[in-house]
Amino acid sequence: MNKILIIGAQGMLGQELLKIFPQAVGWDREEIDITDEKQVKQKISDLKPAVVINAAAYNAVDACGQDAEFELAKKINGYALGYLADVCLALNATLVHYSTNYVFAGDKKDGYQESEPPNPVNKYGQSKLLGEREILRRSNLKYYLIRTSKLFGAKGKSTMAKENFFAQMLRLSTKQIELRVVDDELSNFTYAPDLVQATNILWQESHASGIYHLVNANPRTWYEGARALFDILGKKVKLIPVAANEFPRPAKRPKYGTLLNTKFPKLRDYEEALEEYLKDRN
């Protein structure tokens, strides 16, 4: 039987991957440090998986602006992909890896196709692009490089796990009478269970090796997403749309970060997925 290894198994996406691949081996930071080349090669060679799914990442977009954090991000999101790719090549295993719309500059209103040249506007995007390049420069590697954006789902179990945007809005709405939400950054919300289902199909149906853009359909701004959230719940919350520059954050974000999926069947509308997330949350 094909052995599957999931790395980052305690993160938001990793825990969903383990649900869809219950027979898989799940490792997180306690079992493997992907920045340790020797450990990566030794542990994965011993396990001999047919597929390595890497959901481990450094995701602190704003903190990444600090030099020491950027160095760490480059190790986790960048160079580690070279180690994983090398061991996959040696084992003839497939590498599945997730990247982000933040590798793009954000100046294309209509969005980005899979083949578009990346040009990140922040350090986090640079660190993720480094990882993409580690994969792409190994010519015989079997890989799925999946770009996604604005992930939401159950919070990861790991210590550093981030709250998703909708959970954050719900928490803030219990404390504040009005919420100011950025309305000039456009991209796709993506439900983690939908992304893992699409990942499963990619692999099971042996789609061609390459870059895929897998996101829920219908891009929205953060403000529009928050509006949809409270409308679905029938909760009255005063939302104030604001420009990104009224909401100072250390890292710049792409203005238009829509990912165009031209190679795989479209995923469902994000609102349908959001309804399911809210139902499952209770």
Ligand X SMILES: NC(=O)c1ccc[n+]([C@@H]2O[C@H](COP(=O)([O-])OP(=O)(O)OC[C@H]3O[C@@H](n4cnc5c(N)ncnc54)[C@H](OP(=O)(O)O)[C@@H]3O)[C@@H](O)[C@H]2O)c1
Determine contact, residues 264/214, Cβ cutoff 8 Å: yes
Q: Identify whether 191 is a catalytic site residue.
A: no
Phi, psi of 272 (to 5 degrees): -65, -40
Q: Which of residues 95-124 bind ligand X (CB under 6 A)?
A: 98, 100
For residue 257, what are the CA distances in angstroms to 21, 142, 148, 267? 30, 27, 10, 17
Which residues lie across from 52 on neighbouring strands? 5, 95
Q: Is 146 or 236 the residue whose CB approaches ligand X more closely?
A: 146
Alpha helices (runs of H) in 92-163, residue ranges in sequence order? 123-136
Determine contact, residues 143/86, Cβ cutoff 8 Å: no
- One character per residue 80-99, x = contact with ligand X (rule: CB under 6 A): ------------------x-
Given 8, 82, 120, 219, the residue binding ligand X (CB under 6 A):
8
Minimum separation from the CB atom of position 183 to ligand X (A): 18
Minimum separation from the CB atom of position 33 to ligand X (A): 5
Q: The sheet that has 4-7: what strands, in order across it?
A: 25-27, 4-7, 51-54, 94-100, 142-148, 210-213
Given 23, 115, 139, 159, the residue binding ligand X (CB under 6 A):
159
SS3 of 125, please?
helix
Minimum separation from the CB atom of position 226 to ligand X (A): 15
Q: Which of residues 188-247 bind ligand X (CB under 6 A)?
A: none
Active-site entry in 58, 98, 124, 256: 124
Q: Which of residues 13-32 bind ligand X (CB under 6 A)?
A: 13-14, 28-29, 32
Please give the single-letter amino acid code of residue 137. Answer: R
Q: Is 128 or 227 the residue whose CB approaches ligand X more closely?
A: 128
Rounded CA separation 239/195 (Å):
29
Rounded CA separation 43/46 (Å):
5
Closest CA to 125 of 152, 106, 145, 151: 106
Minimum separation from the CB atom of position 18 to ligand X (A): 11
Determine contact, residues 119/128, Cβ cutoff 8 Å: no
**Binding status of residue 10 toward ligand X by CB under 6 A:** yes
Minimum separation from the CB atom of position 177 to ligand X (A): 27
Minimum separation from the CB atom of position 230 to ligand X (A): 20
For residue 250, what are the CA distances in angstroms to 126, 154, 247, 255? 15, 26, 10, 15
Given 91, 136, 161, 172, the residue binding ligand X (CB under 6 A):
161
Given 120, 125, 156, 193, the residue binding ligand X (CB under 6 A):
156
Note the residues at the interface with ligand X (CB under 6 A).
8, 10-14, 28-29, 32-35, 55-57, 59, 76, 98, 100, 148-151, 156, 158-162
- Residue numbers annotated as active site: 124
